[in-house]
Amino acid sequence: EVQLVESGGGLVKPGGSLRLSCAASGFTFSNAWMSWVRQAPGKGLEWVGCIKTKTDDGTTEYAAPVKGRFTISRDDSKTTLYLQMNSLNTEDTAVYYCTTSRVHAGYFQNWGQGTLVTVSS
Partner 1 sequence: EIVLTQSPGTLSLSPGERATLSCRASQSVSSSYLAWYQQKPGQVPRLLIYGAFSRATGIPDRFSGSGSGTDFTLTISRLEPEDFAVYYCHQYGSSSWTFGQGTKVEIK
Binding site for partner 1 (CB under 8 A): 35, 44-47, 50, 61-64, 97, 101, 105-109, 111-114
Cβ of residue 49: shortest distance to partner 1, in angstroms?
9
Cβ of residue 13: shortest distance to partner 1, in angstroms?
28
Cβ of residue 17: shortest distance to partner 1, in angstroms?
24
Q: Which is nearer to partner 1, 52 or 74 (CB)?
A: 52
Q: E strands, 13-93, where? A: 18-25, 34-39, 45-51, 60-62, 70-75, 80-85
Give me the half-sphere count of Cα atoms (radius 13 Å) on the Cβ side of residue 50: 22
Measured distance CA(21)–CA(9) in Å, rounded: 9
